[in-house]
Structure 1
Amino acid sequence: MKMKSHILFKTTIAVAVANAIAMSSAYAQVKAEKKIEVIEVSATKRVTNIQDVPLAVTAISGSDLVDMQINDVMSLEKAIPGVTITSFGNNPQIILRGAGSAGTTDIAVPIYHNGMYLPTTGQALAGYLDIERIEALRGPQGTLFGRNTFGGLINVITKKPDTEEFSFGGAATLGDFGLIKTEGFVNVPVSENVAFRITAADEKRDGFVENINNPNGDIKDSDYTYVRGQLLFTLSDDLSINLTASHWKDTGNGSLNFGYKPAGIPLDKDDPTRINAADGFLDPRFGVYEGCADGSPDRPGGRTVSGGNVCAGDAFATIVPGARTIDYDYTPNRELEETSFYVSIDWEIAEHSVMVNGAMFDYQSINLMDADLSGLASWVDGNYSTSKSKQLDVTVSSLFDGPLQYTVGAYYFNSQDPANRSAYIFGSLVESWSGYAGATPETPSWASWNSEGRGGTKSTALYGQATYALTDKLNITAGIRFTEDDREAQSADPLSFDDSAARLGPTLPIRSYGTREVQKGVDENTDYRLGADYKVGENLMVYATYATAYIAGSTDVTTQTLLAPQTNKAFEIGAKSTLLDGALRLNAAAYSGKFEGLTTTAFIDQGDTGISVATQVPGGSILSRGLEIEGFWDVTDALVVDFGVSIDMSEYDEFIVDAGNLVWNGTAPIGSETISGSFVYVVDGEDTPYTPDMTVGVGMSYFIDLGDMGTIKPHVFAYYNSGYISNRAPVFFADQDAYTKLDISVKWESVDGDYSVQGYVNNATDELIKTYTEIFSRARVAYDYNSPRNFGVRFAYNF
């Protein structure tokens, strides 16, 4: 398989280069009057034309976000070549160039907000509102950005106050599933040097997944509010200070903690008394692997985790039809809330730019859901967490003319707040044989083995990056970053199994600390970047770069030090060209990297409860290789085409995936191996999860001039995905087949551009896509799926 990947990679590069040369030659004969708008980005911490940045960067303007119906992080993948986003409860995960697919102890592809690192992925669920642009930097960015830029980063940049003129705008969106969304802004110049801007939104929508048992328990809904206030002080032409405060809260039912849709038990086709996750079939029931009392040979499973009996024909032991239909009794208890403060100081002095950016975040979440995924009142599980953090980033960049340009800086991050706690929660709603005396649906009995921990990271870094012009065409770049990470963690004291009264709800149990030692560890690391870029002509630049990035390891309980970090060493070569007299922007990048020191997730079974708790164990390495092409073409004055292509051949290099949840009665699942007494899958050479071999996105817009009546712009976006596996283990039921999604919109805009009406249909082909596959204890399989087809109309004024 590795040989095949190498051949495919070399062939792909050869074809891409040949095509690029052919296209260049052809386009040189074509003339076009219209030129593409220059896009400036801050990817190198200095504002630069995107075509002059020797990195793979995608920039999406705020207006494009609106036109493409990209409302939050979950819909970003269609605009960024190579990006896949998977849903995992309240924690979306971005996979880019293989990073984030498996084995990191922290976020592998983080979200930044105005240059500030968001320490939890749940914070990225805040909607995109009043956005200037989004910058996606692909590949490791370890020398200039704060934390964990393992495979790249997404930087969301909001619009700032304007001291020039008073302005306001708003929009209302109505759609199916009962969607009602309102949003708007007001910009007020207080004086010629002071202005403030207030932005707010409110959204309510019914669930995409219907609960036929409990109408209040529909999931994947929305109940969301957001407000952001900014105050800008322009003290002089060279000095400005921007202060920002924001608050958002989401009280919708959201998603489950893992997969929401039970799918069945993987059984062997020839021997249905055995688990076969390699090439078996899914017996469509949410039961457990236990024989029927009558010894029926064709139905090896009998009892569900909730007590329903498959053999006796219990309705609660079966799965209701429909991928977006559930029959849970429990109404989810979910709430996400964040308050944040930012300060940004921009000062030009002595031919240098001094940027000071600071932020404080206070984020908390709770997610309590139906654990047995049935209509029986039995178990609930979930998690809660609090994340308080603060950070400061100071950079000094040269502004003078000359062959040498540089940026130096210092970074500080601290999440070691005593209030930062996170926990897995499990509780019974009924009395049972396993020690939940007194439990009722209104007063759950919380499991004695529930886990809670507290801790955080303190990180400091010094960094610098310089570019020197050897000639007017050739530049060389070198960067370095030294980081020290100090991590600490402590587990809460266990709850008493014997004291059942102390474990009764309805509020969550209060945990104490003191008997367990605080785990501490310090690690130091140095990241590098070396690169060169060469201007072949006025409209063509080629570049090559080598870059590293790292994520600090977890704390070792025994040695009280940090385990070896996860590292990425990556090469990238690319070309950026502007053709057709400026009408076509065509960029390409080929990359190769190796992730090492990765961990994998194993699940520890909690006895007879049928519930498992995740733990991190040493894993292995991943090889990342691929090619990305993106372009924007003003074909005519009326027709615009944008496109992105990603070819990704990321694969496990050395990796072991635990198979424990597919084990029953000590019998190894078919296709697994035994190592140190544990059943595992050795997945060396297999494709990494959520990394399709190819994705292609093509958008087309056509402008129809109506004269005094304004313009109409139909827009079609087609996205092809070659398919992927949605679990780390090589199991047949996690395969996601190839698919093509289609988004359609039509927008009318007035002559002055102030008024607009946009109708849209997202996922017009109503594709059903696995975004996550969960294997619960005792071989039970459940899926999470994407959003269904949905449509609406957006009415806007100046927004």
Structure 2
Amino acid sequence: MNRKPKSLLKSAVALSVANALVVSAAYAQEKDQQDIEKIEVTATKRVTSIQEVPLAVTAIGGDALVDMQITDILSIEKAIPGVTVASFGNNPQVILRGAGSAGTTDIAVPIYHNNMYLPTSGQALAGYMDVERIEALRGPQGTLFGRNTFGGLINVITKKPDTEEFDFGVAATLGDYGLQKYEGFVNVPLGDNIAFRLTAADEQRDGYVENINNPDGDLKDSDYTYVRGQLLFTPTEDLSINLTMSHWKDTGNGSLNWAYKAAGIPLDKNDPTKINAIDGYLDPRMGVYEGCAGEPDRAGGRSQAGNVCTGDASASIVNDPRKIDYDYTPIRELEETAVYLNVDWEVASHSLVLNAAAFDYEAINLMDAEFSSMASWVDGTYGTTKSKQVDFTISSLFDGPLQYTFGVYHFDSQDPDNKSAYLFGSLTESWYAYAGATPETPSWAYWNNEGRGGTKSTALYGQATYALTDKLNVTAGIRHTKDDRESQGSNSLGWGNWEDHLGPDLPTYNYDGKEVERGEDSNTDYRLGVDYDVASDVMVYASYATAYIAGSTDLATQKLLDPQTNKSFEIGFKSTLFDGDLRLNGAAYNAKYEGLTTTAFIEQGDTGVAVATQVPGGSINSRGIELEGFWDVTEDLVVDFGVSLDMSEYDEFIVGAGNLVWNGEAPIGAETINGAHVFVMDGENTPYTPDMTVGVGISYFFDLGDMGTVKPYVHTYYNSGYMTNRAPVFFGEQDAYAKVDLSVKWQSVDGDFTVQAYVNNATDELIQTYTEILSRARVAYDYAAPRNMGIRFGYNF
């Protein structure tokens, strides 16, 4: 095998960005190449080595994504210190440094694709194919990036066309659960200054969750296609124009609307006729909780899922968390078409960059609502999000102590076709407003209605860095944003005219007499920072930064409510030690989130009755430490690691008891304020924020001479546990766990052919990603994927 001399390798590594959590797979593959390509990031809207960026940034190369089996947003947390992904239905939510754990009216840690903001969390479910790198920016990025970078952002950057040579690659992955995944790319130069790149993938996989009643209703499966075409035009050496169009569609059953696994009802150990969500037990069934006749120690009751007291099979719950007993075959379809334009022009010692995008995303999710084998109720959501955005920046390129970036950003999702609704329907005819319903033609609930609206946002921003000395730099940034939000609710379907309520098509709503509610607000965010080169390979830095999310529209005043804000301090260091063999980066932060939506009580006129509602006023304190690094122990042994200590907690926050209230009685552990039952969460840990996570990856190269190389890789991830619900309920606790991923990859001498066998979650940990409390105090869970394994065959890909 051909290797570079060790001294040359160290020099390249010292200059390279490699990730703060530089995953061993990406770096190790680069060791075998004649020239180690310098991986850089655009975290500051200019191409910079990650070791020179005075921010907490993690970059994961495309090869590393493949080697670590990071295929989408749901599997990314093991590579980024402090990240947790809450997942339910079609709504993955990234929680970082406490941001996104509670109380925001929009995405708190958004996903960007090629520097463009994805306005709905469902769009982040697109898989990672032909990716150059992923950049994770931790902490608020309010001065440079488009929208809602409240606690940070994750930017997925795809590979671009190459005008130099024709190239192609293919890969096939086969695995358990019937996995068949095929992907590939082709790069075609069409002349000296124009090239085309096509990327495509198709994935089929059976469900991780078996439906013992209806095999067509297995959950957590995959039926996914993706295609992306790019056209690059470089009329001069200083000007490039890249046009991209992508389309993906997922018609798998996925998960249910809220959570897929019915778990039971939380009852008091001493009195099973009472709800106790604090230290009770889960009675494994769906239904209300009055005791069975003649069985005072056995909770029972009648519900839409049957009567457990009389032994109805549909009223019971399958104990296996990866098995369900539901009758309904889900209807689910996610589809996105996106167009991107990137223009990069270097002129007069400046870089002018135009990024623009238009998204058309549609989602429908219709699922079993009563979690049983009875043909009874269904519920779900549907929505359309059409949006467009433009980001234009001017950045300095000349030599000198002052470097700056100025820009303007505009986002618009106020398309009249942007509609969404929660749906509820019956599959059986009944006296209660479901005339004519059958499993083939559900009757939609008369109280269903639809909403439409969107946001326009315009921002002017700038950030500059000035070198006071050869070692000391100061940075200042500012961004002024103006937001306009509008919303409009439709009329309900109404009582009567039952034939108009029947499916299978989705109902059509009218907006007659309904006014458009609109609110406007503006905000200014800041960044102040300083960094100092202690030595040629050690930098320390400190920064203060803010970010915000626009408030929702007040229905009474038609103005935007106060926004959610983040004021964050960060200190950190970046170092390259042991002659380039060890790169060690760390950061400590203290963030204050304010204006979070919390429960309050509004008195209704002169009645003296207070009604619970969501208003700004909640707050969270977040403090923590992050450490990450990469150690080239020997020429063949590589270790990567990441550690996060997170002390996020509610400062002032109230969570309504909501569906835990039954017969007007407060559940045990709740307080009663102004007649409403709530949990006061002040000082409690925020959900999805484990006190500690530790990830360690170890790989070793075996040189087989003319037969290539073999590289085994072991990644161990420890999580100290966290809450999966905002309330302090015992059934929302995810205990500490340790998860192990294994892989071994063979690579030919020329590097073209690879065979990789892998086992994800080899310890088969049962990991809660979400806990939902449904009506009548019913509890349901969502879980991450179980142990799964496969083998990937690749050529140049």
Deviation at 1:523, TM superposition (A): 0.5
Deviation at 1:287, TM superposition (A): 1.7
In 2: Cα distance, 1:630 partner to 1:377 partner: 52
| Residue 786 of structure 1: aligned partner | 784
In 2: Cα distance, 1:431 partner to 1:669 partner: 34
Deviation at 1:676, TM superposition (A): 2.2
| Residue 9 of structure 1: aligned partner | none
Please give the residue correspondences for 1:72-83 in structure 2 after superposition, counting only pairs within 5 Å: 72-83=72-83
| Residue 301 of structure 2: aligned partner | 302
Point out 4+ residue stretches in structure 1 off by more than 6 angstroms: 33-37
1:544 to 542, 548, 552: 542
CA contact (8 A) 2:599 2:654 kept: no
| Residue 687 of structure 1: aligned partner | 685
**1:575 alignment partner, SS class:** strand
**2:65 alignment partner, SS class:** helix
Whether 1:230 and 2:230 are equivalent positions in the alignment is yes
Deviation at 1:37, TM superposition (A): 7.2
Whether 1:398 and 2:392 are equivalent positions in the alignment is no
**CA deviation map 1:535-576 (0-9, x unaligned):** 000010000000000000000011010000000000000000
Q: Which AA in structure 1 matches 2:683?
A: G
In 1: Cα distance, 2:513 partner to 2:504 partner: 26
| Residue 164 of structure 2: aligned partner | 164
CA contact (8 A) 1:436 1:445 kept: yes
The 10-residue stretch of structure 1 (540-549 or 310-319) with the greater mean CA deviation from structure 2 = 310-319
Q: Which AA in structure 1 matches 2:359?
A: F
CA contact (8 A) 2:337 2:360 kept: yes
2:347 to 349, 370, 386: 349
In 2: Cα distance, 1:749 partner to 1:679 partner: 61
Q: Residues 601 and 76 of structure 1: is their aligned pair in 2 closer, same or farther, counting only changes over 3 Å?
A: farther
| Residue 247 of structure 1: aligned partner | 247
Deviation at 1:269, TM superposition (A): 1.1
Deviation at 1:513, TM superposition (A): 1.0
Deviation at 1:379, TM superposition (A): 0.2
Deviation at 1:499, TM superposition (A): 2.0
In 1: Cα distance, 2:450 partner to 2:631 partner: 53
**2:659 alignment partner, SS class:** helix
Deviation at 1:184, TM superposition (A): 0.2
In 2: Cα distance, 1:319 partner to 1:369 partner: 17
CA contact (8 A) 1:289 1:664 kept: no
**2:307 alignment partner, SS class:** coil
| Residue 645 of structure 2: aligned partner | 647
In 2: Cα distance, 1:593 partner to 1:320 partner: 43
**CA deviation map 1:634-692 (0-9, x unaligned):** 11110111000000000000000010211111111000011222110000000000000
In 1: Cα distance, 2:52 partner to 2:307 partner: 65
**CA deviation map 1:601-639 (0-9, x unaligned):** 899xxxxxxxxxx98544501101000000011111101
Q: Which AA in structure 2 matches 1:108?
A: A
| Residue 191 of structure 1: aligned partner | 191
**CA deviation map 1:211-244 (0-9, x unaligned):** 0000100010000000000000011010010000
Q: Residues 98 and 478 of structure 1: is their aligned pair in 2 closer, same or farther, counting only changes over 3 Å?
A: same
Q: Residues 622 and 319 of structure 1: is their aligned pair in 2 closer, same or farther, counting only changes over 3 Å?
A: same
Deviation at 1:450, TM superposition (A): 1.2
In 1: Cα distance, 2:542 partner to 2:166 partner: 46
Q: Which AA in structure 2 matches 1:81?
A: P
Deviation at 1:500, TM superposition (A): 1.6
Q: Which AA in structure 2 matches 1:180?
A: Q
**2:297 alignment partner, SS class:** coil
Q: Which AA in structure 2 matches 1:296?
A: E
Q: Which AA in structure 2 matches 1:534?
A: Y
Gaps of 5+ in 1: 1-32, 604-613
| Residue 441 of structure 1: aligned partner | 439
| Residue 132 of structure 1: aligned partner | 132
Deviation at 1:265, TM superposition (A): 1.0
In 1: Cα distance, 2:600 partner to 2:352 partner: 46
CA contact (8 A) 2:229 2:246 kept: yes
Whether 1:381 and 2:375 are equivalent positions in the alignment is no
**2:314 alignment partner, SS class:** helix
Deviation at 1:305, TM superposition (A): 2.5
| Residue 5 of structure 2: aligned partner | none
Q: Which AA in structure 1 matches 2:197?
A: R
CA contact (8 A) 1:760 1:793 kept: yes
In 2: Cα distance, 1:62 partner to 1:36 partner: 15
In 2: Cα distance, 1:570 partner to 1:784 partner: 32
CA contact (8 A) 1:96 1:152 kept: yes
Deviation at 1:433, TM superposition (A): 3.4
In 1: Cα distance, 2:555 partner to 2:725 partner: 28
**1:40 alignment partner, SS class:** coil
1:719 to 701, 717, 720: 717
Q: Which AA in structure 2 matches 1:240?
A: S
Q: Which AA in structure 1 matches 2:302?
A: R
| Residue 504 of structure 2: aligned partner | 506
Count the aligned residue pairs.
Answer: 755
| Residue 705 of structure 2: aligned partner | 707
**1:514 alignment partner, SS class:** coil
Q: Residues 37 and 51 of structure 1: is their aligned pair in 2 closer, same or farther, counting only changes over 3 Å?
A: farther
**1:190 alignment partner, SS class:** strand
Gaps of 5+ in 2: 1-30, 602-611
In 2: Cα distance, 1:637 partner to 1:433 partner: 75
| Residue 729 of structure 1: aligned partner | 727
CA contact (8 A) 2:562 2:616 kept: no
In 2: Cα distance, 1:376 partner to 1:149 partner: 44
The 10-residue stretch of structure 1 (259-268 or 162-171) with the greater mean CA deviation from structure 2 = 259-268
**2:333 alignment partner, SS class:** strand
Deviation at 1:289, TM superposition (A): 2.1
Please give the residue correspondences for 1:360-759 in structure 2 after superposition, counting only pairs within 5 Å: 360-600=358-598, 616-618=614-616, 620-759=618-757
Give me the TM-score of the superposition, normalised by structure 1. Answer: 0.93
Q: Residues 486 and 428 of structure 1: is their aligned pair in 2 closer, same or farther, counting only changes over 3 Å?
A: same
**CA deviation map 1:234-287 (0-9, x unaligned):** 110100100000000000000111111111111111121111111111111112
CA contact (8 A) 1:150 1:551 kept: yes
In 2: Cα distance, 1:311 partner to 1:615 partner: 37
| Residue 14 of structure 1: aligned partner | none
| Residue 270 of structure 2: aligned partner | 270
Deviation at 1:300, TM superposition (A): 2.9
Q: Which AA in structure 2 matches 1:324?
A: R
Q: Which AA in structure 2 matches 1:775?
A: I
| Residue 107 of structure 1: aligned partner | 107
**1:715 alignment partner, SS class:** strand
Q: Which AA in structure 2 matches 1:270?
A: N
CA contact (8 A) 1:619 1:656 kept: no
CA contact (8 A) 1:549 1:568 kept: yes
Q: Which AA in structure 2 matches 1:244?
A: T
In 2: Cα distance, 1:36 partner to 1:199 partner: 25
Please give the residue correspondences for 1:192-207 in structure 2 after superposition, counting only pairs within 5 Å: 192-207=192-207
Deviation at 1:310, TM superposition (A): 1.1
Q: Residues 707 and 601 of structure 1: is their aligned pair in 2 closer, same or farther, counting only changes over 3 Å?
A: farther
CA contact (8 A) 1:36 1:634 kept: no
CA contact (8 A) 2:161 2:231 kept: yes
CA contact (8 A) 2:353 2:393 kept: yes
**2:310 alignment partner, SS class:** coil
Q: Which AA in structure 1 matches 2:192?
A: E
**1:66 alignment partner, SS class:** helix
The 10-residue stretch of structure 1 (505-514 or 218-227) with the greater mean CA deviation from structure 2 = 505-514
Q: Which AA in structure 2 matches 1:425?
A: L
In 1: Cα distance, 2:499 partner to 2:594 partner: 47
Deviation at 1:437, TM superposition (A): 1.0
**2:303 alignment partner, SS class:** coil
Please give the residue correspondences for 1:170-185 in structure 2 after superposition, counting only pairs within 5 Å: 170-185=170-185
Deviation at 1:498, TM superposition (A): 1.9
In 1: Cα distance, 2:394 partner to 2:68 partner: 36
Deviation at 1:600, TM superposition (A): 4.3
Q: Percent identity?
A: 76
CA contact (8 A) 1:412 1:461 kept: yes
In 2: Cα distance, 1:431 partner to 1:676 partner: 40
